[in-house]
Amino acid sequence: MAEFDLAVIGAGAAGLSVTAVAAQLGLRVALIERDRMGGDCLNTGCVPSKALLAASHAVQAGLRAGRFGVRFAAPEIDWHAVQAHVGGVIDAIAPMDSAARFAALGATVIAGQARFVARDTLMVGGRRITARRIIIAAGSRATVPAIPGLSDVPFLTNAGLFAPGPKPGHLLILGGGPIGLEMAQAYVGLGVRVTIVEAQTIAGRDDPELVDGLRRALRDDGVNIIEGAAVVAAEPGPTLVLADGRRIGGDQLLVAVGRTPNLEGLDLESGNVEASRLGVVTDRGLRSISNRRVFAVGDIADPAGLGPRAFTHVASYHAGIVIRRVLFRLPAKLDYRALPRVTYTAPELAQVGMTEAEARAAGEPDIRILRWPLADNDRALAERETAGLVKLVVSRRGHILGAGILAPNAGEMIGTWTLAISQRIKLGVLAGMMVPYPTRAEAGKRAAGTYYLSALLGPWLKRIVGWLAKLP
């Protein structure tokens, strides 16, 4: 008989979610973590980055208060106090992810590197662990590109970015994805010169029309953005050498070009677990295609050729699917149709469903593009934050295919459109919903309403209204 019902490799968001439910339902669960409880999100990702952004945004709010007739003295930035704030936020959340809490829930928490020795057996240090089901939730790490000279130059990834250290004078950021953009704005707001070097375009997965507005906002903040610039070498300094011969120097380098699954050390071959360079290969139900005892969740999963989705909310979503399948034997499978993503800059850039380009590439017939600028939104005008846009991609039958929002708190606004896509709510329902005034949420309702505007103002409707007006 197996020692455990469930062995979970990795104590990040996905692994902790599965463990918490299984342990509280009375299953024998082993939770194995080789590093820090809470994983990347708590210690080196979502939590510290948003804490640092909050400090930066506070500085910027003070600097921009003059537009309201309110003026403050120039802010004094205590770099060590800012770092202490970031560490304090991590410390406040850490008890929820701690080994003590999960042991209290009934799980057996084991520190060490897990590796397969059989289809249903792991070794952690000198301990042999057998389990009826094994959940691989080992996460991912920052990708380090094969750039000549980079290995000889000191650089940071998100793993070391939030460790205590001196404030840089000029931060170079290699990569213009969400991590690079967020940290660029965080650092420039705290008085650091920042240069982003991106081989293609920043926020390359997002709608270019929305990205244009974000690009302007970042440049207005003082971020130097270099796009379409391949880096061919790195030199001491650190200095990045571009393909066109330019040399961009700074005194600290952050590499933020993507994520790589943590497959090393698991010895997946011994467990007959197939993997690609993107992660553990699974079906849409997150079960390994080669070992039915094994499931993979979070950043390390490569489900049905869809590739990984390195978001904490996706890890939690994966955990829900595995809980339904493993614990309750219910059918469940991935549906990324309504997967939201947010870049937490100011303004925020949020996207769910298909962008305009993706809808056209998918061959969607006769799509409609609906827009409402924040410049026409009363709340945005009142707060002098008019840079932004709500953009909807709609089918000819009025179904919402995608939504993009560039606005303050866009991440809070995108939930309405995530629900609409996941539940196939037609546009008319959104156009007719009641939203509080004044809010930026009105911009979404107004964008939806433009779908019907031409029909409402058409001559045939005017004639009908004219006839009805003559009735007693």
Q: Last residue of some domain: 308, 334, 360?
A: 334
137, 173: one domain: no
174, 243: one domain: yes
Q: Answer whether 286's CB lies under 8 Å from 334's CB.
A: yes
Strand, coil or helix: 332 = coil
Determine, yes or no, domain membership for 137. yes
pLDDT at res. 471: 81
Q: Answer whether 364's CB lies under 8 Å from 352's CB.
A: no
20, 130: one domain: yes
pLDDT at res. 456: 62
Determine, yes or no, domain membership for 471. no
pLDDT at res. 106: 97
17-54 CB burial, b ≥16 within 10 A, e <16: bbbbbbbeeebbbbbbbbbebbbbbbbbbbbbbebbbe
Determine, yes or no, domain membership for 226. yes
pLDDT at res. 458: 62
Q: Last residue of some domain: 257, 283, 317?
A: 257
pTM (2 d.p.): 0.94
Residue 66 DSSP code: G
386, 244: one domain: no
Determine, yes or no, domain membership for 60. no
Looking up residue 310, the CATH number of its domain turns out to be 3.50.50.60
Tens digit of each residue's pLDDT, the chain (472 residues):
789 999 999 999 999 999 999 999 999 999 999 999 999 999 999 999 999 999 999 999 999 999 999 999 999 999 999 999 999 999 999 999 999 999 999 999 999 999 999 999 999 999 999 999 999 999 999 999 999 999 999 999 999 999 999 999 999 999 999 999 999 999 999 999 999 999 999 999 999 999 999 999 999 999 999 999 999 999 999 999 999 999 999 999 999 999 999 999 999 999 999 999 999 999 999 999 999 999 999 999 999 888 889 899 999 999 999 999 999 999 999 999 999 999 999 999 999 999 999 999 999 888 999 999 999 999 999 999 999 999 999 998 889 999 999 999 999 999 999 999 999 999 999 999 999 999 999 999 999 999 887 656 667 666 777 777 878 7
| Residue span of the structural domain in which 370 resides | 337-454
Q: Last residue of some domain: 334, 357, 392?
A: 334
372, 432: one domain: yes
127, 275: one domain: yes
Q: How many CB atoms lie within 10 A of CB 246?
A: 11
110, 247: one domain: no
9, 134: one domain: yes
Determine, yes or no, domain membership for 123. yes
Determine, yes or no, domain membership for 158. yes
412, 432: one domain: yes
217, 166: one domain: yes
Looking up residue 381, the CATH number of its domain turns out to be 3.30.390.30
pLDDT at res. 305: 83
pLDDT at res. 455: 58
Residue 6 DSSP code: E
307, 218: one domain: no
DSSP secondary structure of 101-170: HHHHHT-EEEES-EEEEETTEEEETTEEEEEEEEEE---EEE-----TTGGGS--B-HHHHTSS-PPPSE
Determine, yes or no, domain membership for 74. no
pLDDT at res. 468: 76
Determine, yes or no, domain membership for 46. no
pLDDT at res. 472: 77
Overall number of domains in the chain: 3
pLDDT at res. 373: 98
346, 221: one domain: no
